[in-house]
Copies of this chain bind each other. A is one copy, B any other.
Amino acid sequence: MGDSVYTSYPPQLNPAQRDFLVKTIKDWATQNGLVVRPSPMFIQKESDPNGALATNAPVTLFPSPFPKACFEEAEALQTVYNKLYAAITCNEEWLGKIMEDLIDVDDFISRLWKVHLSVQKEGYAQTLSLGLYRSDYMPHSPANATSPSLKQVEFNTISSSFGGLSSLVRKLHSELLTSPPGHPISYPPHPLFQSNIPPENTAVETLSAGLAAAHTAYGPSKSSPALPTCILFVVQDNERNIFDQLALSKQLSTVHKIPVFRLLSTEVLDHTSIPTSDSSRPLIYRPPHSPDTPFEVTTVYLRCFYAPTDYTSERDWEARTQLERSAAIKCPTVLNQLAGCKIVQQVLAETTGPDHLANFLADTDPATVARLRDTFAPQYDLSSSGRGRELALNPETASNHVLKPQREGGGNNVYKTAIPEFLRSIPEDEWKRWILMELIAPPAEAKNVALRSDGEVLSGNVIGELGIYGTILWDQANGKILQNEQGGWLMRTKAKDVNEGGVATGFSSLDSILLF
């Protein structure tokens, strides 16, 4: 099978070749906005008190091979996935039932659910809902398979990131593959480079068009007198990945001609308000640098509020509630955020009981539903009655699994034989916070070289995850879909040891793909 592609890839670099690539990539990244603010581990706050510095985003020196069939399948399924998660979000009863169990053990889920309930009680002022999604996959390539199959790692319904930078990595690798013009010698020769460049990446265009569609669908100002309208990016303080977000706001203001403002999540209550006199509840934003020219917010784009750490006080929950009860279209709503919990993925993947997937996609042809179902890796809850508990506690079967928190977000996974021991170390009533997922077997021989943000170069065996971006705008009141698009992708490549728990010498880099 295709695994042989990986054994001879990437081409070896001698020191001069490596120096050239590293220097070229470092300069290109900085020239073209493929950058991040440096981490405090690299540059301490005291060295740069005004936060003026930037550095290249972590990127691979080479694009990674990716099976063409898997890429095309992921693209083909994205609008179906969009529809699925819109349908789940519309079914508040179904979602509520799933959340029920978690509310007892997970304070974060519980608080989110309460925000939803309180706004529901008052009545939602806005029924339109916007999703900017990213579905993440690996090509499942177990030793005995004849060809890799596409398996979903997770589905992101809030703050799906890296669309802005990912398009730039594609451009970087494409330019390296074809430069200098007419006589490409930036890379050493390799069969995979023959007339091959990474596929187009329209992530910036797609995600921005989704936001612009919501802005337009919102319609004219609901205030009287009418106010100018805008999109509001609500963001974290000290965001290192700001340039990823700015790629979208640049597109919105220069191409779509829509005013965009950035507002720290901690300042939502300082600069936004909902006039008590106006039952349509428009969200008014007063720019601190020009408070006398208020704007009405059509669309709230959250690049924050996705993790418990984003809520440091009651004030943050108040802020989230203010946004939720306003007439602005939320990207996403609380319900849509909750639909992205791992537990939803797990319930959809259950092979016993009701066929939720088929129910949610009742108007989709069964063959397509089956293809989508094929992207699910086997996954289980840890209820006392279920198979998951058995697989997790047996070291032999555990070794083929990963334990993930049921919330979206990641970063706290427990791998393989560490699972039984971990479960026994926590109270059994907390087990329901975890999902057991069969490990996806990515191409074992995959290798790459990465340039970290501090300029260090590391190489070795890697695991790559492909994300596909999609946007959907629907009416939560009747399930009607106003726009459903797919476009753009992200390749993220990690040193293998990172995924196994190690971090010290590892890397996690933005990457692009060469189809084979």
A interface list, Cβ under 8 A from B: 16-17, 19-21, 26-27, 30-33, 35, 38, 43, 47-56, 175, 179-183, 185-186, 188, 228, 230, 242-243, 246-247, 250, 253-254, 257-261, 287-290, 293, 295, 453-456
Number of copies: 2
A230 proximity list for chain B (CB < 8 A): 180
A35 proximity list for chain B (CB < 8 A): 30-31, 54
| Contact B183 A289, beta carbon cutoff 8 Å | no
| Contact A185 B287, beta carbon cutoff 8 Å | yes
Partner pick for A290 among B38, B49, B185, CB 8 A cutoff: B185
Supply 20 A–B pairs (Cβ within 8 Å), ascending by A: A19-B288, A20-B288, A27-B242, A27-B243, A30-B35, A31-B33, A31-B35, A31-B250, A33-B33, A38-B53, A43-B47, A47-B47, A48-B454, A54-B54, A179-B253, A180-B260, A182-B257, A183-B293, A183-B295, A185-B289
The list of the 4 closest CB pairs from A to B, nearest first, reads A50-B455, A180-B259, A52-B455, A20-B289
The chain B residue sitting closest to A295, CB to CB, is B183
A47 proximity list for chain B (CB < 8 A): 43, 47
A26 proximity list for chain B (CB < 8 A): 50-52
| Contact B253 A31, beta carbon cutoff 8 Å | no
The chain B residue sitting closest to A456, CB to CB, is B50
| Contact A181 B253, beta carbon cutoff 8 Å | yes
The chain B residue sitting closest to A181, CB to CB, is B257
A54 proximity list for chain B (CB < 8 A): 30, 35, 53-55
| Contact A52 B52, beta carbon cutoff 8 Å | no
Q: Apart from A27-B243, A30-B54, A185-B293, what are 17 other A-B pairs with CB-CB below 8 Å? A: A17-B289, A20-B287, A21-B289, A26-B50, A30-B33, A31-B35, A31-B247, A50-B455, A50-B456, A52-B453, A180-B259, A180-B261, A181-B259, A182-B228, A182-B257, A185-B290, A188-B290
A49 proximity list for chain B (CB < 8 A): 455
A175 proximity list for chain B (CB < 8 A): 254
The chain B residue sitting closest to A31, CB to CB, is B33
Partner pick for A16 among B19, B179, B260, B288, CB 8 A cutoff: B288
Partner pick for A32 among B33, B287, B288, B293, CB 8 A cutoff: B33
The chain B residue sitting closest to A178, CB to CB, is B253
For A16, A48, A51, A188, which residue has the most chain B Cβ atoms within 10 angstroms?
A48
- Complex CA–CA separation, A43 to B454 (angstroms): 13
A250 proximity list for chain B (CB < 8 A): 31
A228 proximity list for chain B (CB < 8 A): 182-183
- Complex CA–CA separation, A188 to B30 (angstroms): 31
A261 proximity list for chain B (CB < 8 A): 180
The chain B residue sitting closest to A33, CB to CB, is B31
A295 proximity list for chain B (CB < 8 A): 183
Partner pick for A30 among B43, B243, B247, B287, CB 8 A cutoff: B243
- Complex CA–CA separation, A38 to B56 (angstroms): 14
| Contact A52 B454, beta carbon cutoff 8 Å | yes
- Complex CA–CA separation, A489 to B266 (angstroms): 42
A33 proximity list for chain B (CB < 8 A): 30-33
Whole-angstrom distance between the Cβ of A323 and the nearest chain B Cβ: 20
Whole-angstrom distance between the Cβ of A246 and the nearest chain B Cβ: 5
- Complex CA–CA separation, A179 to B254 (angstroms): 9
The chain B residue sitting closest to A26, CB to CB, is B52
The chain B residue sitting closest to A227, CB to CB, is B183
- Complex CA–CA separation, A179 to B246 (angstroms): 14
- Complex CA–CA separation, A293 to B186 (angstroms): 11
Whole-angstrom distance between the Cβ of A235 and the nearest chain B Cβ: 12
The chain B residue sitting closest to A261, CB to CB, is B180
